[in-house]
Structure 1
Amino acid sequence: MISRKVLLVYPYFYTGIIKDQLFPPLGIALLSALLKQKGIEVMKLDCTFLTFEEAVQKARDYNPDITGIYIMTTFAQKALKLLEELKCINPNSIYAAGGPLPTLYPDRFAEKFDYVFKGEAAKSFPDFCRDYLGAPSRIEFLEGIDPQGYPGIHRYKWGMIDSIAKHLTKDEIDACPLPDREAFAHDKYQELCHMHSGKKKASIMMTYGCPFSCDFCSKPVFGNQVRFRSLDRVIEEIRDIISYGYDSLWIADDLFTFDSEFLMGFCSRIINEDINISWSCLSRVDTISDEVACAMKDAGCYKVYLGIESGNDDILKLMGKGIDTATVRRGVEVFKRNGIECAGFFIVGYPGETLATIEDTFEFSLSLGLDEISFNVPYPLPGSKLYERVSGISADDWTIENETRFLYKSEFDEKWLKGRIQQTLESFARLKMQYE
């Protein structure tokens, strides 16, 4: 009997850094569900809680016909190292790359992989797997492949092919099955999250795409086109998440609170259907009213994470944030007034800043009454405007977690910034103690 097996690899290896935002990978979960829908056998290889050797052994034992590896900047090195090992132990497998980095640099990854799938591959990759695995002659299929049938496909081998990636329509998104969450290490994810937050959180996405143009942001996969999922499908997925023992959601959307009608509809469904789950989310500060914040609180929202970035209006303009400090202050006050905790993200040492604007940010962060603050230096993500503007970017130094360190040539002194960040965090801790 001809084998029809696909291996989906998420090559992140947990480093032991304390964090409560670590979740089963949604990307390979969705691809797994789509492949199973087509009658294809699938194994998800989530490397999060495995050693490198254990991951290699599992791949060896499975011996797939097709191996798909998800790659983003922070674990590109591990992904490529894993690819080398897998090619040695499973030389007959087709190797495909997907995710943000291969989307941005398909030529670079096509030198190492047989295929690259750019952008949203939720249709093209499963269709390719179905057609390749079902072909009477797999070699003839590869030699005669029509790239227009697989949007975003890219390769060098068997002749150069390339096609433009297409975003899924809302109807196509809603037609997708629920992400396949079976066989993930749910107990380990829940234990780690509960240890640091007291909650067992799983991630979910309800919107795709973002129309904003922040200078430091890169969105190669979902792009600018905004699409909202059907709330019926969202509620169905939440019930599925609860069935695995989770009691809280991390809503990972950039734009979850952007459309008040969608947000209020979600809150109404959670309340009216008595779905007992808490949740936190990213949020903008310029789209929130007391009515909306009150509904969020009633529906289980306990915390919002705000990309405030700077306490200086000129730097906010430079970053392309589209907000000012007065708007930030109003937004935080609305959330706090309605009993929702606020965490603020800040960036210091941005190209174009001065020591004075950096100090503005430190002072502003302490004046907002936030429940949590964090600081980082600019992170020049490939595909962002920032990435194009800075020089001397390290090509091999993206894997260190939770460390204040420039990955490019900066005019600011790292040691000084680390010291000022630490001082500000200590001041913040003292302020919190006064109010508790």
Structure 2
Amino acid sequence: MIQFEKILLLNPPGENIYLRDYYCSHASKAHYYWGPYDLIALSGVLKNYFELAALDAMQHRLTPDETIERVLEINPDAIIFLTGAVSFVEDFALMRQISEKCERKIHIIGTGDCLLAEGDKFFAEYSFLDAAILSFISDDIVKYLKGETGPFNHISFRKSDGGIEKGGLQFPKEEFYIPIPRYDIFPFKQYRIPHGLRLPYAGIITDYGCPFHCDYCIGGELGFRLRNLENVLEEMRELKRLGVRELWIKDLTFGVHKKRTQELLRRMRDEEFNFTWVCLSRVNVLDEELLMEMKAAGCHTIQLGIESASEELLEQYTKGITVEQVKKVVEMCRRIGIRILAHYILGLPGDTVESIRKTIRYAIQLNAEFASFNIAMPRMGTAFRQEAIQKGLIRDDLATLDNSISQPVYETPELDRATLWALRNEAIRRYHLRLSFIFRRLLGVRTLYEFTTLFREGFSLIASTRKGK
């Protein structure tokens, strides 16, 4: 039996700035880079059993050769590396080199959206891949590294005979607990989010997965579990002790259980954490009472998946919201003083030039403080991907996954790639270059960090529209 003592948590380098966390990978549109939450959470799961090291090669902007040199210096018994659909070609090329250059066998374990959704293909393609983690909140990885033979619910692994023991995604219904992560081994004070107010910031979750099932998102396939509330507060106390001032609450839908959320907000106020924070939610979860309590507890920005002005597309892809619900919640947030980061999806099958321009006009009408216009991506593990394969829009192989979310990977009878890319750029320019929007954003700046971020990320975003497809 292999004895594992030293484990390296590795976020690989890349040709671009890749954001690969919580089973969602894409390239940064500008210069922002937030921490790899999956690895940070896993450091808590593993810390009581193994010697841990972490290497965020993306944050340190290391080259592949520099990363390999660092890995060989650390000399771990096993590497847990983060990967994603946007970068897996680079990630696995790096891991192959590491496996070949090490004088002894290093156990290689991956985690990320591509392994979660299509692990069989990766095990078949990459013989050096020993295991894949299917949930970063599960302690199955501890059992696996301790030598238990499985099967495991949240680990797929290569058996001694070469066969693959597949894990699943079934969760118990009780609350989960994550030991406080080893923040000291990550450069967390160097991480940045484009919509934050202060530094340093840290990510945290109060639940896992999502109870909703949008066809283009993998979140609904993760199940849904609540994190023990005392465990959440315990981590917040530690973050306060470490000097963290800003939180990104990374729940896929903050506020699903209203009474529990209100209890959390009350405790945050009572303990006087004084965090400012950002979260993700949905318009059919939020109401005025909850928004006011969120504001009182420090929330300044909510990310909302608004997606499209087309009611037909919202229904077709099971978003479960209406245009009127969106308008109502955006107006409530404006009245209460909470900013909105509105996410839009352009180019879903059925979208046309006119429907996309309608969405652009809709976005301008809503006039959120932040707007993110994204090309539709048939993400692995989603119903949308299966639809795209069945319609012949993409091939069912690994090669079609090596694309940034910012770039079109298919075309439809209504939209070719060049037209879709041009519409994406049109949306960014029409939205962000309005004088009224620019003045409003400048007048709303609250901190020096926000001011410098606004200019740096704004210029980078506009510059991205000049890049050809």
For the superposition of Structure 1 and Structure 2, which TM-score range results when normalised by the shorter chain?
0.7 to 0.9
The number of aligned residues is: 414
CA distance in 2, matches of 1:99, 1:399: 15
TM-score (norm 1): 0.86
CA distance in 2, matches of 1:150, 1:290: 40
- How far is the alpha carbon of 1:30 from its aligned partner? 2.7
CA distance in 2, matches of 1:224, 1:196: 27
- Over 3 Å counting, the alpha-carbon distance change for 1:389 and 1:273 in structure 2 is same
What is aligned with 2:10? 9
- How far is the alpha carbon of 1:309 from its aligned partner? 0.3
What is aligned with 1:103? 116
**AA partner of residue 44 (structure 1):** A
- How far is the alpha carbon of 1:269 from its aligned partner? 0.7
TM-score (norm 2): 0.80
CA distance in 2, matches of 1:81, 1:129: 24
- How far is the alpha carbon of 1:37 from its aligned partner? 1.0
Q: Does 1:44 align with 2:54?
A: yes
- Over 3 Å counting, the alpha-carbon distance change for 1:158 and 1:6 in structure 2 is farther
What is aligned with 1:342? 340
What is aligned with 1:142? none
CA distance in 2, matches of 1:47, 1:201: 19
> How does 1:213-292 map onto structure 2 within 5 Å?
213-219=213-219, 223-292=221-290
CA distance in 1, matches of 2:15, 2:263: 36
Match for 2:156 among 153, 157, 174? 153
CA distance in 2, matches of 1:196, 1:227: 27
8 Å contact from structure 2 (residues 109, 129) kept in 1: yes
**AA partner of residue 155 (structure 1):** R
CA distance in 2, matches of 1:281, 1:47: 26
- How far is the alpha carbon of 1:239 from its aligned partner? 1.9
Stretch deviating more after TM superposition (99-108 or 321-330):
99-108
CA distance in 2, matches of 1:200, 1:232: 23
1:12-41 Cα distance to aligned partner (Å, 9 max, x none): 548466757633322222323332312x21
- Over 3 Å counting, the alpha-carbon distance change for 1:415 and 1:171 in structure 2 is closer
8 Å contact from structure 2 (residues 153, 170) kept in 1: no
CA distance in 2, matches of 1:423, 1:194: 18
The alignment partner of 2:350 has SS state of coil
- Over 3 Å counting, the alpha-carbon distance change for 1:126 and 1:217 in structure 2 is same
Stretch deviating more after TM superposition (12-21 or 94-103):
12-21
The alignment partner of 1:69 has SS state of strand
8 Å contact from structure 1 (residues 257, 288) kept in 2: yes
8 Å contact from structure 1 (residues 154, 161) kept in 2: yes
- How far is the alpha carbon of 1:245 from its aligned partner? 2.9
Name stretches of at least 5 consecutive residues in structure 2 with no aligned partner: 18-27, 444-469
- Aligned-pair identity (%): 24
**AA partner of residue 433 (structure 1):** F
CA distance in 1, matches of 2:151, 2:240: 39
> How does 1:25-424 map onto structure 2 within 5 Å?
25-38=36-49, 40-48=50-58, 49-51=60-62, 52-90=64-102, 91-111=104-124, 112=126, 113-120=128-135, 122-131=138-147, 146-148=149-151, 151-155=154-158, 158-169=161-172, 173-174=176-177, 176-189=178-191, 192-193=192-193, 197-219=197-219, 223-390=221-388, 391-392=393-394, 395=399, 398=402, 400=404, 403=406, 405-410=407-412, 411-412=414-415, 413-424=419-430
Higher relative contact order (CA 8 A, sep 6+): 2
Name the Cα RMSD after superposition. 2.7
